[in-house]
Amino acid sequence: MTEAAPERSLDAGEPPVEHRSRLRTTYETIRQNRLAVIGAFFLLVLAVVAVFADLIAPYTINEVNIADRLAAPSLDYLFGTDDLGRDVFSRVIIASRVSLQVGFISVGLAVAIGVPIGLVAGYYGKLTDSILMRAMDVLFSFPAILLAIAILAALGSGITNAMIAIGIVYTPIFARITRGSVLSVKESVFVRAARSLGASDARIIRTHILPNVLAPIIVQTSLSLAFAILAEAALSFLGLGVQPPAPAWGRMLNDAQGFLGSAPWMAIFPGLAILLTVMAFNFLGDGLRDALDPQQRSVIESRGVSK
Segment interacting with another protein (CB under 8 A) among 44-52, 88-96, 142-150, 182-190: 142-150
- Applying CB under 8 A, among 95, 119, 233, 248 the residue interacting with another protein is 233
Q: Which of residues 259-278 bind another protein (CB under 8 A)?
A: 260-261, 264, 267-268, 270-271, 274-275, 278
Segment interacting with another protein (CB under 8 A) among 78-86, 87-95, 116-124, 154-162: 154-162
Q: Does 154 bind another protein (CB under 8 A)?
A: yes
Q: Does 149 bind another protein (CB under 8 A)?
A: yes
- Applying CB under 8 A, among 213, 230, 288, 291 the residue interacting with another protein is 230
| Inter-residue long-range contacts of 261-264, CB under 8 Å, 24+ positions, other chains counted | 262/70, 263/70, 263/72, 263/80, 263/81, 263/82, 263/83
Handedness of CA 80, 81, 86, 92 (dihedral sign): negative
Query: Which three-class secondary structure state does DSSP give residue 68?
Result: helix
Residue closer to another protein by CB (options 206, 307) is 307
CB of 26 to another protein, least distance (A): 14
d(CA 87, CA 85): 6
Residue closer to another protein by CB (options 197, 299) is 299
What are residue 17's phi and psi, to 5 degrees? Answer: -70, 120
Residue ranges of the alpha helices (H) in 17-64? Answer: 19-32, 34-51, 53-56
Total chain residues near another protein (CB under 8 A): 68
- Applying CB under 8 A, among 12, 55, 75, 202 the residue interacting with another protein is 12
Segment interacting with another protein (CB under 8 A) among 82-90, 101-109, 118-126, 130-138: 130-138
- Applying CB under 8 A, among 85, 116, 143, 180 the residue interacting with another protein is 143
What are residue 7's phi and psi, to 5 degrees? Answer: -125, 165
> Which residues 6+ apart lie within 8 Å of 182 measured at CB?
118, 119, 121, 122, 123, 209, 213
Q: Does 135 bind another protein (CB under 8 A)?
A: yes
Q: Does 9 bind another protein (CB under 8 A)?
A: yes
> Which residues 6+ apart lie within 8 Å of 67 measured at CB?
85
Closest alpha carbon to 39 in 231, 248, 223, 230: 223
Closest alpha carbon to 93 in 124, 55, 138, 120: 55
Q: Which of residues 33-52 bind another protein (CB under 8 A)?
A: 35
Q: Does 126 bind another protein (CB under 8 A)?
A: no
Binding mask 190-229 for another protein (x = CB under 8 A): ------------------------------------x---
Q: Are 119 and 209 in contact (CB under 8 A)?
A: yes
Angle at CA 166, nearest 5°, toward 160 and 170? 145
Residue closer to another protein by CB (options 191, 228) is 228
Residue ranges of the alpha helices (H) in the chain? Answer: 19-32, 34-51, 53-56, 88-124, 126-140, 144-155, 159-186, 189-196, 201-204, 210-237, 249-256, 265-292
Residues of the shown chain interacting with another protein in the complex, contacts defined by CB under 8 A = 1-7, 9-14, 35, 134-135, 137-139, 141-147, 149-156, 226, 230, 233-234, 237-238, 240, 250, 253, 256-257, 260-261, 264, 267-268, 270-271, 274-275, 278-279, 282-283, 286, 298-299, 301-307
